[in-house]
Structure 1
C-alpha cells in the first residue's frame, strides 16, 4: 500500500496543477480516435476506485504510448518549423497523461519510477508546445518530480567537481595577442543611456564588465554538484561533434548527469555541447540564478517588444560555434570559463563565403581561426575583430554581426537575444 499511497498522493499534486481538463483531453487537429484515447487514459489515471486488473493497466499504457508514437511520427514528418503547433500541443498533453498513468500503475514507488516519469515530461517539453490554458503544466510537474526524486534520496554527486576561478593560461593570451584583428572595446558597467548612445544605436560590439556580480550563478554554478542536484536527471539535447557544420555532427537526448560525466568531466573522444538550448524555461529553478541585463530593454521596434530569448551554452574546453550571424541583438554572458570570439561586420558578409541555401544561409564557409585562402581568397578583405570573454563579462553582439566562438576552458555561457 505504501507504493500506491505515495503514487496517488503525487498524482493528486500533479493534477492540482491542471487549469483546464478540456484543453488536456480535446485535440481537434488529430483524428478523433486519438482525442478519445487521450480522454479515456486521462480519466483512468485519476480514478480513485479499486485497483483494476493488470490486463486493464497494460491496455491503458499501451493506448497512451500508441498516441505518443502516432503524434511523434507527425512531428518527424517534414521540416520541424512546419509542424503545426496543435500537433505539438497534443504531444504535450499525451506526455503528461503518460506520466500520470505510470504513477497510477506502479507497484514500486522509487527513484527509478520517478525518473521514468520525469523523462516523459521532459520529452513533452522538448518536442511539444505549451498548452494555452495550461502553459506551465509540464514545467511545474517536472519541478514536483525533481523535488520528489531528491526526497526519495539518491546520491548523484561528483567529488572534486568545483571549477576553480583560475586565470587563463598565458599560452592562450599570447595566441590571442598575436591574432591580426582589432580588439573589441571594453567598458565598465555603462549606464543605459551611454550604452544606447555609443553602442546600441550605432550597432558596435562592446565588452561589458562588472555587470554580473549580482548573479547567483557566478558562484553556484562553479560546483557541478549544484547543477546535478537541481537538474541532474533532466533530459536535455546535446550536440555531438566538433560543430554543427561538420558532416559527423549529430544530436542526442541524454540526462544532464550523463552529459556532465561523459562529455564535460571525462575526455571523451566525441565533443559534447549543450548548445543554444532554452534550459531556463525547461528548468525554472536555474532561471532564478541569472538576471536579464537591463540593456535588453532597448529596442528600435517598441511596438513589437518581447522578452529576450534566453539560451544556455554549457560544455568542455574546445567547443566551437562556427562563424555565423543571428537575426537579433545578442548579449553573451560568461558565467565561468573563457571564450575567444572573432567578429565581422555585416558589411563584410561577401568576403566570408556564406553557405548557399536556406538551412545554413547564416553560416560562413570560411574558418576565421584557420582560413583557407586558396578556397576563400576574398577573406583577406574582411576586417576582423577579436574578444577574449572572461568570467563575469558580457559581450554585446549586434544583430547580423558575424561571430566565431571557441571555448578555451570548460565554460557556461548564457545568451540573451532580443
Structure 2
C-alpha cells in the first residue's frame, strides 16, 4: 500500500507544476556552486532512477544555505528571487523524499515532508506561473495523511475533561472593563455600506454587530477538534511570551496541534500566541469558513486598491498586543472569545511615547492599563477610547489609530487590513 501511495503522491505533485521550465529558470542564487547543485537536484525529480542518501543530503544542505541567506538582515530586504528559490528547493526536497521512502513510507515521514513544505510556504514566495505550487502540495500531503493513516487520530482531550472552547473571562482588576476611565466607542447593528462610510471618511472607530453571523467559522471553529482535523499537522509560527516588546519574547515553529496542546489547553508558564499569521493562504480549506466584509471595498485611492491582507489571531486568555498602530485600515472580526481594546487617535501620538528605534516606531512605550506617569507624564493628556469586543462582533480600527488588545479568554480573531 505504501508504494502505491507514494506513486500517487509523486504523480499528483508533479502534475501541479504548470510550467516545468519555470522551476529551473527561477533558481537564482548568487553562489554559482549552490545554483548548479540545485539544478542537478531539480533534474533528479523527473528521473526514474533510485534517489540516494547523497542526493537527500545535498538538497538539505542547499535548503540550509538558502535559509541562512534569507535570515540575514531584515525580512523586508530579502530578495524575492531568493525566497522563490527556497520555494523551489522545498518542492524538490518533497519529491526526492517521497521517492527515497517509496517502499517504507509511514505517517511520521509524511509529516516530516509536510513540515518541509510548510516551511517553504512560510519562508518562500509564490512563483510567477506556479503561485499555488506549495499550497497544493501541502493539501495533497495533508489529505493523504488523513485518508491512509486514519488510525493516527489527531483528536485531543482536555486534561480536566471540560469544554475546549473557552475559558472563564479573567476577572482581575486590570481587566475590569467597566472601571477603565475611557470613552466607549459607538456600535451599530448591520450598518449599510453608506452608513459605515461615514465612519470610514471621518476615520473614527466603530463596533459592528450582526455582520459575521453567517460565517461557518462562527460554529465550526468553536470545535477545537475541527481545527485539528483541518490543520493539526500544519506547521505555524507561534509567538512565545506575553507581548512582542518583552525581552524574553521569541518565535517558534510547531504544528497547530502542538500549539493547541501546549499553549491553548494546558497552562504553561509562558504564553503562546498564533498571532498576525496569514493562515488562510497557507491553508485555503479554512478560508472557506469566512468571508471578506463588503466594508473592505471602501478605499481612498481606487487606482491602488488591492484585496485585504487576512491574518489570524488564535490563542489562550491573557495574550496582549502592545499599544501600536498599523498603516492600513483594519476590521477585526471576533469569531469567539472576548477581547478588550483600548484606542487613541493619531493626533495623540505625541502623548504616547513611541519607541525611537525604526522597527518599533509604531509601538508605544506606555502600558495604557498601568501607565508609569513618572516616566511618561504626558500620557494623561491622551484621550482614551475603549471597546469590549465580544463573540460575533467586528471592530473597525482606522489606519494609524493606536490600539492595545488583551484577550480576556480563549479566542480566535481574524483581521482584514486594507488600503
TM-score (norm 2): 0.95
Q: Is the 8 A contact 2:337 2:412 kept in 1?
A: yes
Name the CA distance, whole Å, in 2 between partners of 1:191 and 1:388. Answer: 22
Alignment: residue pair count: 411
Tell me, in whole angstroms, the C-alpha distance in 2 between the residues paired with 1:235 and 1:15.
Answer: 22
CA distance in 2, matches of 1:275, 1:309: 14
Distance in 2, Cα, partners of 1:83 & 1:166: 40
Name the counterpart of 1:141. 137
**Residue in 1 aligned with 2:113?**
117
Following TM superposition, by how much is the alpha carbon of 1:313 offset from its aligned partner in structure 2, in angstroms? Answer: 0.2
**8 A Cα contact 2:339 2:388, kept in partner:** yes
Deviates more, 1:233-242 or 1:171-180: 171-180
Question: Do the aligned residues in 1 keep the contact of 2:243 with 2:320 (CA within 8 Å)?
Answer: yes
Checking the alignment, whether the CA contact within 8 Å between 2:238 and 2:251 is kept in structure 1 is yes
Question: 1:228-270 deviations in whole A, cap 9, x for unaligned?
Answer: 0000010000000110000000000001010000000000001
Give the counterpart of 1:97 among 83, 89, 92.
92
Once the two structures are superposed, the pairs formed by residues 13-412 of structure 1 within 5 Å of their partners are: 13-26=12-25, 27-49=27-49, 52=50, 57-106=52-101, 107-152=103-148, 153=150, 154-159=152-157, 162-163=163-164, 175-197=176-198, 199-412=199-412
Shift of the 119–376 alpha-carbon distance from structure 1 to 2, 3 Å rule, reads: same
| d(CA) in 1 for partners of 2:412, 2:162 | 14
What's the CA shift for 1:170? 7.4
- Cα gap change, 1:34/1:170 in structure 2, threshold over 3 Å: closer, same or farther? closer
Q: Any idea what the Cα deviations from partners look like across 1:283-326, whole Å, max 9, x if unmatched?
A: 11110111111000000111000000000000000000000000
Q: Quick one: structure 1 residues 226 and 174, their matched pair in 2 at CA, closer, same or farther if it must change by over 3 Å?
A: closer
User: Secondary structure in 1 aligned to 2:359?
Assistant: coil
Q: CA deviation at 1:66?
A: 1.7
SS of 2:135's partner is helix
Runs of at least 5 residues in structure 1 that lack an aligned partner in the other structure: none
Superposition RMSD in Å = 1.7
User: What is the rounded CA distance, in whole Å, between the counterparts of 1:409 and 1:165 in structure 2?
Assistant: 6
Corresponding position of 1:11 = 10
The 1:170/1:80 distance shift into structure 2, 3 A limit, reads closer
> Could you say what secondary structure the match of 1:201 adopts?
helix
How far apart are the structure 2 equivalents of 1:86 and 1:220?
38
